Structure 1
Amino acid sequence: MNTKSLFLPIKYLLFLLSVSVVLFGCNQDKESNIARIIVDLKDTTSRIEGMKVYLGNKDSGMLVDSAIVEKGKFTLSVAVDTNFIPFRANILYLSPDTMNPYRYLGFNNPFFKKTYEMAVYTEPGTTQFTPLQSFKSKNPEEIVLELDHVNSQTEAAFYHGNFVTGKTDANIKQNADLVLKYPKSIYLLNTLNVSKGDLDEKQLARLLSGFDKSLANSSVYKNIQNFLSYNNDTGSQFPADLKLKRPDQKIISSILNQDNKFKLVVFWASWCLPCRKEIPQIKSLQANYGNSLSIYSISIDKDEAHWQNALKKESMPWQQYLLNDTESFTKLNKKYQLEAIPVWALFGPDNQLIEKRVGYTTGEGSIENAVAAKLRM
């Protein structure tokens, strides 16, 4: 990652499924009831001297603490209870640039040359950062920090370990060894969650059981458990036993009509920039093929207000639903792998799946052109 990536808007950062740096506290506080980040910039004339900096929870999108930079130093912290799970955190501040207001402090990855990350994981104790002396930039807004000690939690994330999807004995052993080496890594657990749809369920269950039980209360651990417990028995048809919310608050269990039209189901979210970019293409499909195509958008937003606001801004003239029921999400996630969005699925007049794709693109492979090609066949 180059230094330009340090300055992406926070909403875009929340969309990205690739996980950035993970750093855990090195020196445990005796009381162990606070996660604290201490930064000494070794410079009283830096760009952020006297400015307010924030500790952002990248998982929730919330700002959890703030501090003023005084004499090149500041401290950020968050309270810890018995159910605390380390979370991805950014250190950021606001710049006068209204077009690109967020600025992020970077973190040096010592395992890869000239690699700088944007997030740290917090856990009980104190983590101390100082400037990376070897980092040189003509832009005074670019600040990269380093940590003098990298523990096993940090190591797992810095190496960006991934699970391989092959079913050979070597592949299975490689995955098992990864969990065996980092059984307490929340980063690795998140990576397993992203990969779960590509792994054999027996292997997935074995890998999950290899993680430390201290992670069992985390939402991502429970998500994988729910994924494993759901029996995906609807074949190529769209599930009809769901709880989906319409904008008028009515709950719907089945959305695909029994008509003679093709059906396009699009999974998206208000915070997902590629999803929002794809909407004009879907509007084009609606305008050109509305007589033979029914469209359904299903948002995976956790915040209903954000979903409702996006609906007002985008004015999408087709059926809209919110997927905020845990059991329903598990069913659809297992069937259509919703860890990366946008995802679209095209069904025939008989409601049987014809094609499913993930990601936003333009040109021949775009949702507009790919779906239109199927309709013209």
Structure 2
Amino acid sequence: MPKTIYNLLILLLFASCNSETKIPTTNTDSYFPPLTGTNWETKSIADLNWKQSAVQPLLDYLQIKNTKSFMILVNGRIVMENYFNGHTANTNWYWASAGKTLTATLTGIAEQEGFINLDTKVSTYLGNNWTSLALNKENLITAKHLLTMTSGLEDLDNGDCVTADCLTYKADAGTRWAYHNVYVKLQDIIAQATNQTWTNYFNARLRDKIGMDGNWITVDNNSVYTSTTRSMARFGLLILNKGKWDNNIILNENYCNTATTTSQNINSGYGYLWWINGKSSYHLPQSQLQFSGSIIPSAPNDMFMALGKNDQKIYVVPSKNMVIIRMGNAADNSNLALSDFDAVLWQKIRALYQ
């Protein structure tokens, strides 16, 4: 066999083997809306070969469940965008705890810029006595513990108070998972490390780079983001694309992958302030109980989520190149981050494409 033909066959065999094992990390059909203006490409239900008959039952359910806005993106294009009860595309609404993921993202950006290290103790940035703990226990707490809800701190005010006198010892850092607003100390860490205000750094490094609107407000000692629905969708699209916006890397892919997978060995359903679906067990906010199975069994196993009080939702589904947004009041009375609403909602979403 001529040498050139032999070499060609070897190359073809190598490429064939690679094509079976290589998993693409980005979707070449991904679309990113312009940073300014209202233009945003759409894709119809018919274009996707989805079921038009499933649209109205979904909208009816959203309507009766106190929804204000709902969006579905596929490959970055709008498939559904609906507003209810007087809410409009220009109306701001609060993200509640879904906005924790914004803090997680800025933490990753600050790390990649060399301002912080996740394994460094918090007191390096904030000084001693930022809690009421003995210094030997306080010094166990790193930035990563704040990201993963494993600080070991207990708050005497149900997780809302983050002043030093409220932050008391419950367990050594890294040994206990507990949902807590102490994560906002990451915003103080970033402000100290960058010598900028949290808002200025957030706007320059994230908001303005992906065309978001909105602002931070303080509610019950907690920093809460408010924005339009499309801005929430822009953020979801950034994370779907592993931190890349068009040709710009906003957040490095390694951090993005780590943030959206299990982050510790206590709660499999939690990453860096993101909720992770499809695991064998999970914990819920305000509980130390472990539950078996996936958080939302009716949703795709590869989905990860930003979830906030009164059913603020960002669902990101890589296998479907899909981002779903829900803003509104609580679907049923007053809901924390998760409720039965998620399960039923996903049954109706899946009816669109199954």
TM-score normalised by the shorter chain: which range applies? Answer: under 0.3
TM-score by length of 1: 0.26
TM-score by length of 2: 0.27
Which structure has more relative contact order (CA 8 Å, sep 6+)? It is 2
